[in-house]
Amino acid sequence: MKPTGTDPRILSLAAEVAKSPEQNVPVILLKLKEIINNTPLGSSELKKIKQDIYCYDLIQYCLLVLTQDCSRIQGGWTTVSQLTQILSHCCVGLEPGEDAEEFYNELLPSAVENFLVLGRRLQTCFINAAKGEEKDALLHFFEVVTDSLFWLLGGHVQLIQNGLRSLLNKQEPGTEFSQELRQLIDLLSPKAYQEVEDQKQHKAACLIQAYWKGFQTRKRLKKLPSAVITLQRSFRSKRTKMLMKLSRQKEEEDHRLQLQIQRQRAMRLSREIRLNMLEIVHPGQVEKHNREIEEKSALIIQKHWKGYRERKNFHQQRPSLTEYKAAVILQRATLKFLAKCRKKKKQFAPWPGLRELTDARRIELKQQVDDYIRRHPGSQISDVTSRELHSQAQERLQHYFLGRALEERSQQHREALMAQINTNIEQLMKSPSLKEAEGKDPELFLSRSRPVAAKAKQAHLTTLKHIQAPWWKKLGEEAGDDIDVPKDELNIELGTLFIGGTKPP
């Protein structure tokens, strides 16, 4: 079953392998290396790509290529060594899903066997090689194949256990070699392997923590001089601010003392001047001079007190002043609105009629009519034709007025019927139940004058309520506007007239 959401690169590669000839398949499979290398290690995308490679049998193609003779493969040992790397990387970390049994029991053992066979072939070629460069290349290919084998065995430890068990079965029991093989198998068991892996991870975590703590300590030690400098700088700035604050307070106190001293000196000087003036002034004028000084002092005190009182009153009267301004604005807007309404009423006022014509105006108008007739002469019609047209127009007009009167009468009759029906429906809706009905209630349904009188009274009360309403509720109403009275109420009396009911009292 093919997986959904397959990588398009894998799809195109599988299609190319299926369509290409056998000698070109190894070179095409080398493209898997580029796809795997371009995918981040340990990501879910890499797992998905490996599953797609396995599902489209590209791993099986790699195994088939490794079973062929290297001399017949394009690229030789270079292509074969790269294919071993691709095969080992695809098998490690692969989750085969439903085909797990086939993968673990058939594909992995065959891959290990092919790797061992390739290693044996490389050893044979290395022994038979004569040149040093060729031996170096073969040695490099052997290292690549063995690294791929170790990578595959490291990802699937059960392969080593199976090989050792098969080797243990071939050995004689009780020998020292068989005991050592058994100990090695026990060490490679999943539980022991997991313990070893846990120990490795614990050691690695301790090593990382040690390096990290050392790095942090060295980093703090490097920052220690700068931290000391920063601390000194902050202390000095704080001390400078405190000294500035103390100096500022001292300056303010000195300034306050100087002002007080200046004030005392000014008072002393004023008193000395007053004493000197008293010495100069005649003894008879001293009392007068003291009275003038007292009056000036009183005026100054009164001026300051009145200013303070007026400012206080102004602050207290500010809300009322705001309300007064708001009232003025509202009155101005209302007056503008009323002026606009009066202007509209003047525009739609009834026609005042014709002004009285003077003799001069009549002569002028007659002259204008004659000029117009002279410029626009009409068609000549005989008197007989004009009389016939006049009689036809009169007949048609009479016929129109007669039809309109009949139509208005029928419309009034329909409106009266609708008013009566609406009145009866409303009366029935508001009527009491049969259990609660009294002796006079059925008479209300027999008499037509009572509902008519009730509706007329309601319409009369509505009109009175509208007339007695305040003026501001009737702003915007035109002079000829009608009172909003329901149409059914206005048509009740028509219903009594056209249907034959009795008039209301």
Tens of pLDDT, residue by residue over 379-407, are 677 788 888 888 998 999 899 888 988 99
pLDDT digit string, tens, across residues 66-88 = 777 777 777 777 777 777 777 77
Q: How does DSSP assign 437-449, residue by residue?
A: --SSHHHHHH-SH
* Distance, first Cα to last Cα, the chain: 100
- List pLDDT tens digits, range 89-114: 777 777 777 776 777 767 777 777 77
Which of these three, 302, 320, 342, is where a domain ends?
A: 342
CA–CA separation, 15 and 52 (whole Å): 13
Q: What total number of domains does the chain contain? A: 4
pLDDT at residue 4, rounded to an integer: 55
| Band of residue 250 on the pLDDT scale cut at 50, 70, 90 | very high
Is position 176 within any domain?
no
| Overall residue count recorded for the chain in this entry | 505
Same domain, 16 and 151: yes
Are 87 and 213 members of one domain?
no
- Whether 390 is in a domain gets the answer no
Torsion sign over Cα 369, 372, 374, 378: negative
Exposed / middle / buried, residue 109 (Cβ in 10 Å: 0-12, 13-18, 19+): middle
Above 80 in pLDDT, residue 295? Answer: yes
Q: Residue 242 burial (CB < 10 Å; 0-12/13-18/19+)?
A: exposed
Of the three residues 324, 342, 360, the one that is the final residue of a domain is 342
pLDDT for the residue numbered 282:
72
pLDDT classification of 279: cutoffs 50, 70, 90: confident
pTM: 0.35
* Same structural domain, 130 and 212: no
Which domain covers residue 485, as residue numbers?
416-431+439-505
* Of 98, 126, 155, the domain-final residue: 155
Residue 140 confidence (pLDDT): 79
Are residues 227 and 264 located together in one domain of the fold?
Answer: yes
Domain assignment present for residue 347? The answer is: no
In a domain, 31, yes or no: yes
Per-residue pLDDT band for 495 (boundaries 50, 70, 90) equals very low
pLDDT tens sequence across 180-195: 556 555 655 555 556 6
Within this chain, do residues 272 and 296 fall inside the same structural domain, yes or no? no
Q: What is the mean pLDDT of residues 373-377?
A: 83
145 and 15 in a single domain? The answer is yes
Q: Tokens for 392, please give them.
A: 């036809």
Least confident stretch, 36-50, 196-210, 265-279, 355-369: 36-50
Q: Is the pLDDT of residue 411 over 80?
A: yes
Band of residue 239 on the pLDDT scale cut at 50, 70, 90: very high
**Res 326 pLDDT > 60:** yes
Do residues 303 and 217 share a domain?
Answer: no
In this structure, is residue 392 part of a structural domain? no
Given pLDDT bands bounded at 50, 70 and 90, which one contains residue 258? very high
Q: Mean of the per-residue pLDDT values for the chain?
A: 75
| Residue 279 or residue 246, greater confidence | 246
C-alpha distances in Å from residue 356, one per residue of 352, 361, 362, 365:
12, 10, 10, 13
Q: Do 313 and 236 have their domain in common?
A: no
Q: How confident is the model at residue 314 (pLDDT cuts 50, 70, 90)?
A: confident
